[in-house]
Amino acid sequence: MDKEFLTISEVSGYLNVKPSTLYTWVKSGEIPHYKLHKMVRFKKGDIDAWMENHKEDKVGQNNKVREILRAAKRSNKDVDQLVKKTIARVKGNRYTSHCGRPDQVKDLRKEVEDGAL
């Protein structure tokens, strides 16, 4: 692949994806490409840079797991409580007693007393 511009089939082989997938990415503008009339071409350097930008870094996730395991070892908390707390932190739906339950309708009694319902 010493050519400056690559065809759909060449990029398909290079990335090991179907040509139809590449056409979908081109249509949505997800992958860098050039259009010459109805022909689609790619630069290898652009494709390599695009792939580097789509690299997933798992290091951050592993650090979170280690942090949770360290917390579990330090304290004698029940595993179920630790899991529930972690899920609540991820979801952002922590129960706070001063706000009441998240699904509770506030001031419903007042509306019933006023006859609004």
The reported pLDDT for the residue numbered 59 is: 59
Alpha-carbon gap, residue 117 to 111, rounded angstroms = 6
Are 45 and 55 within 8 A, CB to CB?
A: no
Q: Contact, 20 vs 29, CB < 8 A? A: no
Three-class SS state of 3: coil
List the pLDDT tens digit at each of the 117 positions of the chain: 467 899 999 999 999 999 999 999 999 999 999 998 889 999 999 999 999 888 776 655 667 777 777 776 665 556 777 777 788 777 775 555 555 555 555 555 555 555 555
Please say whether the beta carbons of 3 and 47 come within 8 A.
Answer: no
Specify the pLDDT at position 24: 92
Question: What is residue 42's predicted lDDT score, i.e. its pLDDT?
Answer: 94
pLDDT of 9 reads: 93
Where are the chain's structural domains?
A: 5-53, 58-92
DSSP string, 16-51: T--HHHHHHHHHHT-S--EEETTEEEEEHHHHHHHH
pLDDT at 2: 62
Q: For the sheet containing 34-36, what is the strand order?
A: 5-6, 39-43, 34-36
